[in-house]
Amino acid sequence: MTNLLFSYKIERVFHRISYYYNTDKVEILHRKLKSFKKNILNSIGKTKLCIDKFVKQYKING
């Protein structure tokens, strides 16, 4: 759910900016934000995988 909330907030930022400034700069900013969002979500996914591996390896319960 956190990932969806984060994605929604970034999209809202883009829509708010594009509403006031309809320029090419906004499109560049949108691409950068999408890339940033993708990197953050990938990091979250990788961290979760590492934690899952650790838990399985050491058979941690709870």
Give the residues of the chain that fall short of pLDDT 70: 1-6, 17-26, 60-62
CA angle 3, 28, 9 (to 5 degrees): 25
pLDDT value, residue 31: 80
Where are the chain's structural domains? 2-58
pLDDT value, residue 62: 53
Q: Please report, to the nearest 10 degrees, the dihedral formed by the alpha carbons of residues 34, 37, 43, 46 taken in order.
A: -70
**Is the pTM value of this prediction over 0.75?**
no
Spatial distance between the Cα atoms of 31 and 51, rounded to a whole number of angstroms: 30
